[in-house]
């Protein structure tokens, strides 16, 4: 019987952090302030320092972070927003939630990330913004995307949900765009113990607007300037995220080591495409995703050996019922997104995974 290798495990990290995490919970419990208290304020400052941005606004989750960022920038009905064709559906949903239309742009097939060369063809007089997604923790080519946005007077909202700590040309993702969204869903690189998210920005006026939007449009009690939302980062989650943020650099190092081992152990397998890293990119390996034609067969083969894998994502947003074209209207033609969805496989990777476990996964793949 071979060793069971889970796709992801928080066991190792959470064992090491147990005392600090429980102390954080106790602190919130005893302080008695549970919504927008001191832990949220401290986490926002600490995350801003980490991400090298002037402002962080803690919100309820990643989808709401994206939605509020678009809303704060004034994007709404009649507007078009360029999004990757192969992202997690939240990126598209945020655009839909503000009443705008997501316009898919196909990725570079080698990096799975937005291809700046394809932006121009998607541009129309209605285009207002671009949402680049740093998929799998691989940073997009932000300098090129920002230059394009400036040239065409577009807003940029980075979706940094999978890439806390990644950088391109030495600058951290989540610090390029005008307002950037991230998620602290438990399995993200920086994960809470429940739902949580944030927006980062260097624009003070935008930050002020976001602080109001997340809290009933209210700058102070009983005064509502805008029709806002209730999307606040939870005080308890903020206290836990402060503990985890202190470990993030170490966790990122571990992820980079695991990816390097996969690269070494999986080199030269015919028909297996390993993740490519663009020049200037420093990924944080939220996921280690390989591509091969016989994806389903390999996944089943590994499952039989008790090696768990996942597919991110098996069905591209344009194939989801939520985005099916109205009757009589032509559907999307996005062959790269379809091809990536049919061939991608995410291998096990988590902080605390060993070189031996990576080698065992690689050996099984070679055997297949």
Select the residue interacting with ligand PLP from 28, 57, 73, 90 (CB under 6 A): 90
Q: Measured at CB, which residue is nearest to ligand PLP?
A: 62
User: In whole angstroms, what is the distance from residue 247 CA to residue 236 CA?
Assistant: 18
User: In whole angstroms, what is the distance from residue 157 CA to residue 345 CA?
Assistant: 27
Q: Is 201 in the site for ligand PLP (CB under 6 A)?
A: no
Select the residue interacting with ligand PLP from 92, 136, 168, 185 (CB under 6 A): 185
User: In whole angstroms, what is the distance from residue 136 CA to residue 162 CA?
Assistant: 6
The pair of structure tokens assigned to 368 is 């297949």
The residue among 195 and 338 lying less far from ligand PLP, judged by its C-beta, is: 195
State in angstroms the smallest separation of the CB of 8 from ligand PLP. 13
- Residues 316 and 337: beta-carbon distance below 8 Å: yes
**Range in contact with ligand PLP (rule: CB under 6 A) among 83-91, 105-113, 207-215, 289-297:** 83-91
- Residues 95 and 81: beta-carbon distance below 8 Å: yes
**Range in contact with ligand PLP (rule: CB under 6 A) among 58-66, 164-172, 233-241, 359-367:** 58-66
* CA neighbor of 312 nearest in space, from 90, 5, 25: 90
Site size toward ligand PLP (CB under 6 A) is 15
State in angstroms the smallest separation of the CB of 312 from ligand PLP. 8
State in angstroms the smallest separation of the CB of 304 from ligand PLP. 29
Q: Is 161 in the site for ligand PLP (CB under 6 A)?
A: yes
Select the residue interacting with ligand PLP from 130, 133, 251, 266 (CB under 6 A): 133
CA-CA distances (angstroms) from residue 132 to 81, 119, 157, 201, 273?
A: 10, 11, 7, 15, 23
User: In whole angstroms, what is the distance from residue 95 CA to residue 345 CA?
Assistant: 27
Q: Is 140 in the site for ligand PLP (CB under 6 A)?
A: no
CA-CA distances (angstroms) from residue 17 to 245, 285, 286?
A: 11, 21, 20
Query: Footprint of ligand PLP on this chain (CB under 6 A)?
Result: 61-63, 87-88, 90-91, 133, 159, 161-162, 183, 185, 195, 197
């Amino acid at each position: 019987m071979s060793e069971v290798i889970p796709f992801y495990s928080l066991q190792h990290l959470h064992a090491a952090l147990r005392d600090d995490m429980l102390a954080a919970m106790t602190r919130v419990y005893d302080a008695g302030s549970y919504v927008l208290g001191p832990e949220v304020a401290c986490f926002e400052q600490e995350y801003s320092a980490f991400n090298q941005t002037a402002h962080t606004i803690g919100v309820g989750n990643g989808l709401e972070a994206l939605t509020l960022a678009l809303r704060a920038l004034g994007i709404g009905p009649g507007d078009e927003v360029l999004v990757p064709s192969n992202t997690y559906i939240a990126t598209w949903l945020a655009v839909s939630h503000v009443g705008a239309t997501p316009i898919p742009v196909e990725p570079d097939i080698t990096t799975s990330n937005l291809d700046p060369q394809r932006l121009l063809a998607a541009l129309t007089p209605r285009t207002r913004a671009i949402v680049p997604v740093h998929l799998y923790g691989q940073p997009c080519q932000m300098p090129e995307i920002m230059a394009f946005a400036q040239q065409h007077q577009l807003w940029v909202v980075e979706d940094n949900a999978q890439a806390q700590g990644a950088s391109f040309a030495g600058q951290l993702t989540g610090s390029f765009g005008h307002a950037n969204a991230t998620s602290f869903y438990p399995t993200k690189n920086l994960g809470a113990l429940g739902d949580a998210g944030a927006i980062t920005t260097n624009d003070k006026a935008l930050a002020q607007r976001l602080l109001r939007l997340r809290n009933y449009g209210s700058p102070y009690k009983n005064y509502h300037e805008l029709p806002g939302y209730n999307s606040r980062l939870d005080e308890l989650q903020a206290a836990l995220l402060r503990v985890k943020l202190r470990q993030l650099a170490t966790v990122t190092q571990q992820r980079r080591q695991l990816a390097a081992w996969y690269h070494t152990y999986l080199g030269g397998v015919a028909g297996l495409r390993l993740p490519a890293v663009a020049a200037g990119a420093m990924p944080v390996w939220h996921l280690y995703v390989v591509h091969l034609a016989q994806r389903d067969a390999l996944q089943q083969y590994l499952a039989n050996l008790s090696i768990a894998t996942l597919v991110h994502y098996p069905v591209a947003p344009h194939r989801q019922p939520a985005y099916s074209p109205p009757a009589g209207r032509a559907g999307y033609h996005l062959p790269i997104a379809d091809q990536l969805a049919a061939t991608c496989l995410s291998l096990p990777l988590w902080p605390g995974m060993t070189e031996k476990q990576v080698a065992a996964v690689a050996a099984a793949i070679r055997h297949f």
